[in-house]
Structures are given as structure tokens and as C-alpha cells.
Amino acid sequence: MSVLEMPGAGGPDVAEDSLARPRRAVDRVLAGNAWLVFAFLYLPIVVLIVYSFNDNQRVGIWTEASLRWYGEMFGNARVMDALRNSILVAIVSTAVATVLGTAAGLSMERYRYRGQRAFDGLLYLPVIIPDITMAVMLLLFFVQTFDLIFLATGIQFSRGLGTIMLAHVSFNISFVALVVRARLAGLDGALEEAAADLYANRWQAFRRVTLPLIAPGVAGGALLALTLSLDDVVIAEFVSGAGSTTLPVYVFGALRRGVTPLINAVSVLMLVGSILLVLMSLAVSRGRESSGG
């Protein structure tokens, strides 16, 4: 998370100065809008949290407050397994997709070479294709590829968490690349070229100049990828194998018996977990900043 901090970490913001100018009215409207957006974003979350303390079997029917579902959640091995699978898949696929997607975005925006247009198109397709189509095609693909590998080498691969990760990376690359490109487009290329001349090697130039420049795009892309991976039901169900049920797949399957507040409780757990993570990374980066000057 600390990557989020990089762009402005070096000093006070020019933006702050500009706000001091007589734009108070506009700024007030913008601030008001921001509050409304946050209200909109958190309204269902409040409902979700409230109903996780509902004693009733059904999510939507309030009876009385209780911690019943939190107790059941920790006692339910299947839910905990599914939660662990989901988090594992989300973290690994986000990490890989962020690296590959950033590289793709850079290559697309900063260089010109033949064949680029074909790749450009290829990059958009995973965003466009409906989930279910992607799920079916990946399933068929994995089955046939594993058969071929088995015939050729005698090694039998099977579907599981690994195939879910592969699938998630293949749609997340595009989302990361798109966000990174939006950041890169119009950024002054001169800085990077200057850096390339300045630093001993290209990696240093990239790390010291380009990466800080595109960090907000990379962070945004990574956040998107994480969200998409955590929410995917259809693709995960199709390309999963033995013992790799993810949380959304479990929840969808449980629909036939109705959504119990158990799932709300799991969601609250995930929310609390992610908030703690964010706070920790903020604390770490603040500590590093103050000790490092």
C-alpha cells in the first residue's frame, strides 16, 4: 500500500497552494460531492454490517441483535477454507497482473514498434468479453491443454487454485494496463529520457523516475485487480478443481438455501482485515518517512 504514497512523499504539494486561491465556492461544491459519493459508497456497507448482527436465518429479515453468525463463521471450516482460497488467489493474481499489466502499459505508451496494434487489440479483449464466455473458454482450454501435456510428457496437471490464479491474471493484466496507460498518456516523456541518460542503467532510471511518476496508476490498477479477483464467481467456479472453492462460489452455491447473515459476517471480517492492513501500511510508511528524513 505504501506505493500509494510515493508520488507526493517528497514534499509539500503545490496543489495546496492553489486551493488557497479564491476558489472557495467551487471547492465547497467539490467537497460536498465527495461526501455524497462516500455516503453512496458506504450506504450498503452500513446495511451489510448491521445485518451481520441479525439473529435471523435470512439476511433481509431482522429479528434481534446477536453475535451468532460470527460464532458460526469461525466454526464453519468450509467458509474459512473458501475465504483463505479467495485471499490467496487475489493476492497472487494481483501481484502478477500488476507487474505484467504495468509492463504492457509502458510498452504500449512509451514505445513504437511493429505489431503493436495487434497487441493493443489483444489487450482490450479481456475487458470486453463477458465473464461467462471467458469461463467456458478457459475451462475447455485447461482441460485440453492438460490432456495434451499428459499425452506428451506423462505428467498430469489438474485444475485448482493455480488455474484460478492463471485465469484471474489473464483478465487483470488488461485492467491494470488500461489504468497505467491513462496515467502515462501525456506524461512528459522527456523526464524519463533525461533519467535514462543520467542513471547508470535503465532499471535504475525506471525505478527512480518512471515508477514514481506512474505509481498512482499502478496503485489504482492493482486496487482494481484485487477487487475484480475477490468478486469473481463465474470464472473461478469453472476453472477451479478439487478443494479450491473460493468464497464467492461458496456464497452463490448457498443461495439455494438463502443467504444467511453468515456471509455478511464474513464480509465484515474481510472489511476489518483490509482496513487493518491499510492502517498498518500507512503506519509503516509514516515510520519510514520520519526516520528516513
Restricted to residues 93-132, the positions that interact with other proteins (CB under 8 A) are: 100-101, 103-104, 106-108, 110-116, 118-119, 121-132
Q: Which of residues 25-54 bind other proteins (CB under 8 A)?
A: 26-27, 29-31, 33-34, 37-38, 40-45, 47-48, 51
Among 80, 88, 91, 182, binds other proteins (CB under 8 A): 182
Amino acid symbol at 66? S
CA dist 222 and 175 (Å) reads: 9
Integer-rounded Cα radius of gyration of the chain: 23
Residue written as cell 512523499?
9
Among 137, 276, 280, 284, binds other proteins (CB under 8 A): 137
Q: Which of residues 51-80 bind other proteins (CB under 8 A)?
A: 51, 56-61, 76-78
CA dist 76 and 80 (Å) reads: 6
Among 89, 201, 221, 287, binds other proteins (CB under 8 A): 221
Instruction: Report how far Cα 135 is from the mean position of its chain's Cα atoms.
Output: 19
Burial track 242-265 (b if 16+ CB lie within 10 A, e otherwise): eebbbbbbbbeeeeeeebbbbbbb
Q: What are phi and psi of 177, to 5 degrees?
A: -60, -40
Q: Which is nearer to other proteins, 7 or 95 (CB)?
A: 7
Q: Which of residues 148-177 bind other proteins (CB under 8 A)?
A: 148, 158-159, 166-167, 169-171, 173-175, 177
Among 39, 65, 149, 198, binds other proteins (CB under 8 A): 198
Among 39, 149, 278, 280, binds other proteins (CB under 8 A): 278
